Amino acid sequence: MRWRKRLSIVDAHAEGEVGRVITGGVLDVPGATMFDKKRHLETEDDSIRRFCLFEPRGGAAMSVNLVLPPTVPEADVGMIIMESTDYPPMSGSNTICVVTVVLETGLVPMHEPETRLVLDTPAGLVAVTARCKDGKVETVAFDNVPCFVDRLDAALEVEGVGTVTADISYGGAFFAIVDASSVGFSMVPDEARDMVDLGEKIKAAAVEQLDVTHPENPLIRDVTFAYFTDRVAGEDNTWVNAIVVSPGRLDRCPCGTGCSARLAVLSERGLAKPGQVHTFRSLLGTRFVTEVARTTEVGGRPAVVPRIKGRGWIFATHELGWDASDPFPEGFLLTDTWGAGMKGLN
pLDDT digits 0-9 by tens, 41-60: 999 999 999 999 999 999 99
Buried b (16+ CB within 10 A) or exposed e, 192-212: eeebbebbbbbbbbbbeebeb
Q: Where are the alpha helices (DSSP H) in the chain?
A: 34-43, 47-53, 92-104, 192-209, 256-268, 335-338
Mean pLDDT of the chain: 95
What is the C-alpha separation between 15 and 35, in angstroms, rounded? Answer: 27
pLDDT at 335: 87
Query: Worst-scoring range by mean pLDDT, 2-6, 51-55, 61-65, 125-129?
Result: 2-6
Residues labelled as active-site residues? 91
- How would you write 266-311 as a 3-class SS string? HHHCCCCCECCCEEEECCCCCEEEEEEEEEEEECCEEEEEEEEEEC
pLDDT in tens, 276-331: 999 999 999 999 999 999 999 999 999 999 999 999 999 999 999 999 999 999 99
- The pLDDT of residue 345 is above 60: no
Under the banding of pLDDT at 50, 70 and 90, the label for residue 5 is: confident
- The pLDDT of residue 251 is above 50: yes
- The pLDDT of residue 77 is above 70: yes
Please, are residues 118 and 127 in contact by the beta-carbon 8 Å criterion?
yes
pLDDT in tens, 93-137: 999 999 999 999 999 999 999 999 999 999 999 999 999 999 999
3-143+313-338, superfamily in CATH?
Answer: Diaminopimelate Epimerase; Chain A, domain 1 (3.10.310.10)
Q: Which contacts of 200-203 are long-range, i.e. CB under 8 A and separated by 24 or more positions?
A: 200/226, 200/244, 200/246, 200/247, 200/248, 200/339, 200/341, 201/158, 201/159, 201/160, 201/161, 202/156, 202/158, 202/164, 202/166, 202/176, 202/178, 202/226, 202/244, 203/176, 203/244, 203/246
Overall pTM surpassing 0.85 (yes/no): yes
- Domain boundaries for CATH 3.10.310.10 within the chain: 3-143+313-338, 147-309
3-state helix, strand, coil in the chain (%, to 5): 20, 45, 35
CA 43, 47, 48 angle in degrees (round to 5)?
A: 110
Contacts of 221 (CB under 8 A, 6+ apart): 174, 212, 213, 214
DSSP string, 153-188: EEEEEETTTEEEEEEEEESSSEEEEEEGGGGT----
Topology at the third CATH level for domain 147-309: Diaminopimelate Epimerase; Chain A, domain 1 (3.10.310)
Please, are residues 198 and 179 in contact by the beta-carbon 8 Å criterion?
no
- The pLDDT of residue 275 is above 70: yes
pLDDT at 27: 86
Q: What is the mean pLDDT of residues 244-252?
A: 94
What is the C-alpha separation between 302 and 304, in angstroms, rounded? Answer: 7
pLDDT in tens, 159-213: 999 999 999 999 999 999 999 999 999 999 999 999 999 999 999 999 999 999 9
Please count the other Cβ atoms lying within 10 Å of the Cβ belonging to residue 65.
24
pLDDT at 3: 84
- The pLDDT of residue 239 is above 80: yes
Under the banding of pLDDT at 50, 70 and 90, the label for residue 342 is: low
- The pLDDT of residue 18 is above 60: yes
pLDDT at 346: 41
User: Which whole-number Å values give the CA distances from 16 to 55, 190, 255, 283, 323, in the listed order?
Assistant: 21, 17, 10, 10, 32
- The pLDDT of residue 339 is above 80: no
pLDDT at 341: 56
- The pLDDT of residue 256 is above 50: yes
What is the C-alpha separation between 231 and 239, in angstroms, rounded? Answer: 4
pLDDT at 148: 98
